[in-house]
Every structure is written in C-alpha cells, then in structure tokens.
Amino acid sequence: MLLYFKTANSRSYQEEVEFSMIAADYGQKQLDRTIVLERYGVSVLKSSVIYGANAAGKSNLLKSIIDGVQLILKSSKNNKGEPLPHFYNKNQRVNQSKPTLYVFGLFMNNTHFEYSFSHTASRIFEEKLMAFLPERQITHFQRIYNPKTDKYDWSDLSHEFQNEASKMLKEVIVKKNNLFLSAAANLPEDSHLKLPIAEQIYDWFKNNIISVVNLSAPNWIDYEPALALIRQDKKAEAFFLEILAKTDFLIQGFDLKTLPNEEGQP
C-alpha cells in the first residue's frame, strides 16, 4: 500500500509537498477506517480525499504521482540520449534546469520501503531505495551524479543487491536516462541474474497505481479506459470492486449505461 508521496519542482509545485496516508493519532482508535501496521505502531487510512479551491493543485498532485510511476515503468526502455519527460514547475525559467524529485513510501512484504529519485530531461541525478525496519534502516542502493567526474557515486549495495547482476547493471546497462530499479527489474527472462527485491518493487508500481487522470488535459478525469475494461471483463469488474471495498466507500456493484452525448453519439 502507498504510505506517502513527496514531490518538488513538479508541475505546479515548486517547493516540496507531501501527501500522506498515515493516520493522525488523536488518542482514539478508529480500526474500521484504518489498517493497523502492528510492526510499526501506526495506522494507515483506507481512503483519502484531496480538496481545495479551483487551480489549487489537486489534479497536479495526482498527475505528479503518475509522472513518477510512468518514469519507473518506462525508463528502462529509453535509448541512449533519449530525453526524459520532465514536468518541472514553470513558474520560474530556472526550474527547467533543476531536478524534479519523486519520493514514494510504500508498505510491502510487511516492510516499509522508500524509493526516491530526481531527474531533469537529460539525466537521473539521484536514486535511492531504502527499507525501514523497526530496529534499523537499510540502504539497498543509492547513486548520486557527480558533475566533476561526470559519473555516479554509488553507496555500498545491500546484501540483496550484491551479485553479478548489480555489477553488470552499474557498469554496463544503466544509462544516465535509465532508473537502476527499472533496469534491475527488467533483466531478460532467460537470464540467470535476478534481483528479486527490484522486481517486487517494480511490480508494486505496475499493479497498484491506477490512474483516471488525463495527463494531457488540465482538470480532466478519464474514466473511459477503466469503464471499457469493466464492460468487457467480469474479472476486471471484480478487481475494481475489491479495490473500492478496501477504500471503505461501501460500493457493492456497477450498473453501467451508455447515454448519448450532445451530438447524439454514444
């Protein structure tokens, strides 16, 4: 599950902002509205609402989340020299040359992970994967671009990343416009080199972030892809109902009807 998301220099956000699903502790346990993470002593909200005035940045927060997820899922396919999509804050021209930051806190395998990276159109500047355990924290990997050497300075890799696959990725495969996590999760299927944690984190982003925000149009919500899938596949309908049940919205089913638009078209 998503615990929190942070971003800076992204769309309408110049300074760092945070969206958190961690429940505030008002001295009252609301177990029916939260999921308790016993290992960490915190509760997580089942659902959350973003509200505010028009043009306050509500849609842009959701778009920033999807921007980060799309980079994670697609960057391993970038060719050498191909620019990265860079949705920087346009309030100041100088922001175009500044990195945009994305930070995802997620709970998976009974563990709190934090994956973060920053980038411009030309390169990844920093990338880090951490695991926070109740008794200690682990840096699985971290790389920071060093402009003096025009190379990346790497942290010591965790035990899970200390193998030939990591060495090969660091030295050969990962380019300045690739995320290490994405490359590590997309090694050839017939390869004997595997990085299970990278694959699990990547699959979490692939399978757990569903967007109905139209990234190309301001303030538009695009329901049609999800609705089309629900119409065609009963398994998809069951999947969406399962998600809605977890959010505590009390929605028990769909009744989809096709209505004509102003031009009389369905």
pLDDT at 216 over 70: no
Q: What is the mean pLDDT of the chain?
A: 85
> Percentages helix, strand, coil for the chain, rounded to the nearest 5?
30, 25, 45
Which is it for the CA torsion 176, 185, 104, 55, positive or negative? Answer: positive
pLDDT of the residue at 126: 97
C-beta separation of 43 from 22 below 8 A:
yes
C-beta separation of 35 from 43 below 8 A:
yes
**Which residues, in sequence order, are bridge partners of residue 105?**
4, 114
pLDDT of the residue at 247: 65
pLDDT at 27 over 70: no
Residue with tokens 């025009």: 150
Q: Which tops the pLDDT comparison, 233 or 6?
A: 6
User: Range with the lowest mean pLDDT among 18-27, 51-60, 246-255?
Assistant: 246-255
C-beta separation of 166 from 36 below 8 A:
no
Angstrom distance (rounded) from CA 100 to CA 15: 10
Which residues have a Cβ under 8 Å from the Cβ of 156 and sit 6 or more positions away?
Answer: 139
- Report pLDDT digits (tens) over 160-184: 887 776 777 776 667 899 999 998 8
pLDDT at 116 over 70: yes
Three-state DSSP at 213 gives strand
Please state, for a pLDDT cut of 90, what percent of the chain lies above it: 47
Per-residue pLDDT band for 10 (boundaries 50, 70, 90) equals: very high
- Report pLDDT digits (tens) over 50-89: 888 888 888 899 999 999 999 999 998 888 889 999 999 9
C-beta separation of 106 from 1 below 8 A:
yes
